[in-house]
Amino acid sequence: MSTITEEINRRRTFAIISHPDAGKTTLTEKFLLYGGAINLAGSVKGKATARHAVSDWMEIEKERGISVTSSVLQFEYGGYCINILDTPGHQDFSEDTYRTLMAADSAVMVIDASKGVEAQTRKLFKVCVMRRIPIFTFINKMDRDANDTFELLDEIEKELGIATCPLNWPIGSGKEFQGVYDREKKCVIAYSDTQKGTREGTATEILATDEGALRQAIGDAAADKLLEEIELLDGASAAFDLEQVRAGNLTPVCFGSALTNFGVEIFLQHFLKMTTPPLPRRADVGVIDPVENEFSAFVFKIQANMNKAHRDRVAFLRICSGRFDANLEVRHVQGGKTMRLSQPQQIMADERKILSEAYAGDIIGVFDPGIFSIGDTICMPREKFQYEGIPTFAPEHFARVRQVDTMKRKQFVKGIEQIAQEGAIQIFQEFNTGLEEIIVGVVGVLQFDVLKYRLENEYNVEIRLENLPYEHIRWIENKDEVDLDRLTGTSDMKKVRDRKGNPLLLFVNAWSIGMTQERNPGLVLSEFRRN
């Protein structure tokens, strides 16, 4: 029987990040395929087959072919227990990705070989840098015409400010893509017979020193180009340094095609060798060690109505230390209560499996009766500490919400509050006016569509949204020292309260923020609030 230490040490927990359409969800599915978690990978947009991506479970995701929320997927491969956090690529859902990265120990960055570093890649990369988590790069879609390989690496280094170390090198692209050169083994791995939805396919290894066999396998022109590029590469690229990788200063790079399975398993094997088991986490009492400390976890995501058969709310916990047992009594620190976590489960998109145990590094879902908030800490009853909070980012778009049928006020309030607790939207109310009107703030405008869709489909409530001109929001950090009724603002400023009663200021123009601070000496404003 394995010990707690052995179980924790075989855990690997990572997030997959990318710009939309870089092939992130396809790559996730191929990992699951190699781990035996699924037998046939679904076509992401449901065109090639009637299946949908395993990690997309919300109806709107299946209709639009985009990931709206983060999914959690667990599988076994090569003695490791792997937890993948698949994140939305679309920038309008980036806040969900930020929170998910708080639960990951490393990140896999997927880049489209024909597009290089895109806007959303930059944004997500910055979050990884803020957290100093290791980043592993998979340059995807080599089965299509790609940019020059040296230029792609140069772009990653310049745009993202991180050194690159290619672990393998592509041979051609598009119709000419024949495989990859493995720099460690000094051999060419050529593929044949790979198919979209299966893991079958034959890989042939040819030593680069066997020039005759190499030329026969890939042709003279491709062999000449490859030998020339290897020489250049050995002189130009950064040397592999595992310490630098784990410090987040160097990203190992692999090339391949998730769609046709070229290079996916090679990448997975390299990644697992280099990434770490769960690492210690910072709390207000110091650092919590995953092995030495007893069970503890934090809530990084809340999701209501994950499936029409389960009309419930699930709080997702990242276990940070020790072993979780379904019979454990634990302390919900922020709520000040001792409790048992109800219906602990492992969730594979919308499929659920009840768990009796889990370990540091694992992600579990528990039933939330409406008591958990994002960022909450769960630990043993005799302990009392809190993990670092998860930032709430400032919304950039605002709208007034109006019900079409005022008789459905109860369903409307329940629905909008539950969706707000998930962190996808933020809701505000007029300050001291007695009006019950609700203002919704979102990071990206697509969230408005999701809100409308979910209220209609999950709560049977129809709404109309009236866009408001505000673009900037600030929390008042020293609210107890400020007389809010006497606050002197600008003509484009609006006072509101958030769900917890905290006062906020909305502005149309950025310059109004500075002017308001000048007019109110001592006023401290903040762009985000920690939960």
- Each residue's pLDDT tens digit, 415-464: 888 888 777 788 998 876 655 679 999 877 877 888 888 888 888 999 99
Q: Which amino acid is at 466?
A: E
**Same domain (yes/no): 419, 468:** yes
Average pLDDT, the chain: 83
Percentage of the chain lying above the pLDDT 70 cut: 84
What pLDDT does residue 50 have?
Answer: 36
What pLDDT does residue 190 have?
Answer: 81
Q: What is the CATH number of the domain that holds 241?
A: 3.40.50.300
**Exposed, middle or buried: residue 145 (CB in 10 Å: 0-12, 13-18, 19+)?**
middle
What pLDDT does residue 267 have?
Answer: 92
Q: Which of 197-206, 215-224, 498-507 has the lowest mean pLDDT?
A: 197-206
**Same domain (yes/no): 267, 307:** no
**Same domain (yes/no): 206, 305:** no
Residue 386 counted as domain residue: no
pLDDT band of 126, cuts 50, 70, 90: confident
Q: Which of 31-40, 209-218, 478-487 has the lowest mean pLDDT?
A: 31-40
**Same domain (yes/no): 347, 440:** no
Residue 385 counted as domain residue: no
Distance CA(328)–CA(356), nearest Å, equals 10
Q: Which of 47-61, 227-241, 266-280, 486-500 has the lowest mean pLDDT?
A: 47-61
pLDDT band of 198, cuts 50, 70, 90: low
Helix (H) or strand (E) holding 223: helix 220-236
Q: Which two tokens stand for residue 395?
A: 């919304």
What pLDDT does residue 165 have?
Answer: 94
What pLDDT does residue 349 have?
Answer: 53
Q: Which of 321, 356, 379 is the last residue of a domain?
A: 379
Residue 217 counted as domain residue: yes
What pLDDT does residue 301 have?
Answer: 85
**Same domain (yes/no): 82, 139:** yes
**Same domain (yes/no): 198, 270:** yes
What pLDDT does residue 32 have?
Answer: 81
Cβ pair 84, 65 in contact under 8 A: no
Total domain count, the chain = 3
Q: Tell me the mean pLDDT in the region 315-333.
A: 94
Q: What's the Cα-to-Cα distance from 440 to each of 406, 430, 465, 480, rounded to whole Å? A: 18, 11, 9, 25
Q: What is the CATH number of the domain that holds 412?
A: 3.30.70.3280
Judged against a pLDDT cut of 90, whether residue 196 lies above it is answered with: no
Judged against a pLDDT cut of 90, whether residue 330 lies above it is answered with: yes
Q: Tell me the mean pLDDT in the region 56-68.
A: 47
pLDDT band of 306, cuts 50, 70, 90: low
Residue 384 counted as domain residue: no
What pLDDT does residue 498 have?
Answer: 86
Q: How many CB atoms lie within 10 A of CB 4?
A: 15
Residue 508 counted as domain residue: yes
* φ, ψ (nearest 5 deg) of residue 33: -65, -45
Q: Tell me the mean pLDDT in the region 101-125.
A: 86
Q: Which of 379, 411, 438 is the last residue of a domain?
A: 379
Residue 197 counted as domain residue: yes
What pLDDT does residue 511 have?
Answer: 94
Q: What is the DSSP letter of 239?
A: P
Q: How many CB atoms lie within 10 A of CB 494?
A: 19
What pLDDT does residue 434 have?
Answer: 54
**Same domain (yes/no): 268, 286:** no
Distance CA(195)–CA(338), nearest Å, equals 52
**Same domain (yes/no): 166, 246:** yes
**Same domain (yes/no): 114, 176:** yes
What pLDDT does residue 71 have?
Answer: 64
Residue 178 counted as domain residue: yes
What pLDDT does residue 66 have?
Answer: 42
Q: What's the Cα-to-Cα distance from 16 to each of 58, 146, 180, 457, 514, rounded to whole Å? A: 19, 21, 22, 29, 38
Residue 181 counted as domain residue: yes
* Residue of 408, 431, 404 lying closest to 494 (CA atoms): 431
Q: Which two tokens stand for residue 102?
A: 């708080």
Q: Tell me the mean pLDDT in the region 28-46.
A: 62
Q: Which of 274-283, 302-311, 328-337, 450-459 has the lowest mean pLDDT?
A: 302-311
**How does pLDDT run across 461-506, given as a tens digit for each residue?**
999 999 999 989 998 988 888 888 888 889 999 999 888 888 899 9
What pLDDT does residue 42 have?
Answer: 44
Judged against a pLDDT cut of 50, whether residue 334 lies above it is answered with: yes
pLDDT band of 192, cuts 50, 70, 90: low
**Same domain (yes/no): 410, 495:** yes
**Same domain (yes/no): 303, 214:** no
What pLDDT does residue 94 have?
Answer: 56
Q: Tell me the mean pLDDT in the region 214-219.
A: 88
Q: Tell me the mean pLDDT in the region 509-527.
A: 91
The pTM score is 0.78
pLDDT band of 386, cuts 50, 70, 90: very high
**Same domain (yes/no): 117, 147:** yes
Q: Which domain holds residue 214?
A: 4-274
What pLDDT does residue 160 have?
Answer: 85
Task: Report how far apart the first and last C-alpha atoms of the chain are (Å, whole number).
Answer: 40
What pLDDT does residue 49 have?
Answer: 37
Q: Which amino acid is at 351?
A: E
Q: Which residue has better confidence, 39 or 443?
A: 443
What pLDDT does residue 259 have?
Answer: 86
Q: Which of 345, 379, 413 is the last residue of a domain?
A: 379
Q: What is the DSSP letter of 143?
A: T
pLDDT band of 95, cuts 50, 70, 90: low
What pLDDT does residue 217 have?
Answer: 86
